[in-house]
Amino acid sequence: MGASKVENLGIKTLDQLKKGALTFLTLILVLTIGSCASKAPKYEKVEELKRNQEFEQTVKIVVPAETAHDGSDVSAPAQTTTTSMATTTTLPGKKADKKIKKPKKGELPPPPAPVGRQPDIESTDGFDGGRRPLKDPFRVGERVTHNVSYFKVSAGILNLESRAYAEVNGHKNYQFRTSIKTSSLFSSFYSVDDYVDVLMDFDQMIPSVFTQHVKETDQLKEAQMYFDHEKNTATFWEKKVTEKNGEETKKQHWEIMPYSQSVFSAAFYMRIFQWEVGKEYAFRVANDNENLVFRAKALRREKISTKAGDFDAVVIKPEIELKGKFKPVGDIFIWLSDDDRKYLLRIESQIKIGTLVSEVIEIIPGKP
């Protein structure tokens, strides 16, 4: 297929996806297709674009200097410290430092602490009453690499990584990274070189922050999101530069439901569930000033052959619920490895013009 035909199909595909719900699934695929353009916008204040003083005064993040994909040398002391801490959050389910005071005469006692796994919307299979799964699917140094294709033409490479543990406001966090880069063919008319870092609290399995870095043909963007799980609020900041509109800033602050995931942590969080055929699984997602519910049903088990090898897999179909109503996301199917790791093996999005496919080509398992 010629580049011009791929380009025309890409423009139509992007327009279709932008009209739908922007879930973490469609987002991964949207990043591989764009409108016709030739080069990234010129901008001299890139470092200034990355700085967010309000975010830096809200949260303290400490991450290791490097993460090796083979899992080696990842336990070295943290060497890189970003931002300065202004507040410390007590996460849901954690005990506060201060002792609980007895109610005064005439006052009602405090409500009892939640019993069993919370929230009720989530499956309890594979958990021992708490938030952590009995079998942790993540390994430091893990990397799952996908080839993303459209009409069987390689559009880009997607990487899903579990990096060295970090600290957020003194709490141990997983450090996940999702990155995507277009192929040489697609880069000739639309270039993408983006990544998102997600920090998720180790004990509570809920996101603390994410930082997004976008370098594309028509835009440069830096974004941050902070989850205050004590107050059940989320704050999102974005600074963007485009040739059309120049510099733009955006801030959102809204109340979220307890134990909400981000649109980026969801791709990792879905791996902690058992995914028994015929059963529906759900969890909350906070994104773009809205509170959503991600629901998916395990349809069947099957064997799948990929460049990374042959796998037993479970096939699931997701849906998005907003304010009690389902939002159309099209025919999207996900293949997870049918084992304790639940690797994301394949995403298939059937749209009006062809099918977008993201399929694993390499797995580096990392160290236990």
Asked whether the predicted pLDDT for residue 180 surpasses 60, the reply is yes
| Digit-coded pLDDT (tens) for 3-26 | 444 444 343 343 333 333 233 444
Contacts of 188 by beta carbon, 8 Å cutoff, 6+ apart: 3
Asked whether the predicted pLDDT for residue 88 surpasses 60, the reply is no
Asked whether the predicted pLDDT for residue 108 surpasses 80, the reply is no
Q: Where are the domains of the chain?
A: 3-69+81-89+117-364
Which residue type, as a one-letter code, is found at position 83?
T
More confident residue, 355 or 147: 147
Asked whether the predicted pLDDT for residue 201 surpasses 90, the reply is yes
Q: Do residues 260 and 206 make contact, with C-beta atoms less than 8 angstroms apart?
A: yes
Confidence of residue 210 (pLDDT cuts 50, 70, 90): very high
| Digit-coded pLDDT (tens) for 274-316 | 999 999 999 999 999 999 999 999 999 999 999 999 999 999 9
Structure tokens at 47: 């470092």
Residue 288's nearest CA partner among 18, 13, 107 is 18
Asked whether the predicted pLDDT for residue 359 surpasses 80, the reply is yes
- Hey, is 224 helix, strand or coil? strand
Query: Residue 324: exposed, middle, or buried by beta-carbon count in 10 A (0-12, 13-18, 19+)?
Result: exposed
H-helix segments, 197-304: 266-269
| Digit-coded pLDDT (tens) for 118-157 | 999 999 999 999 999 999 999 999 999 999 988 888 888 9
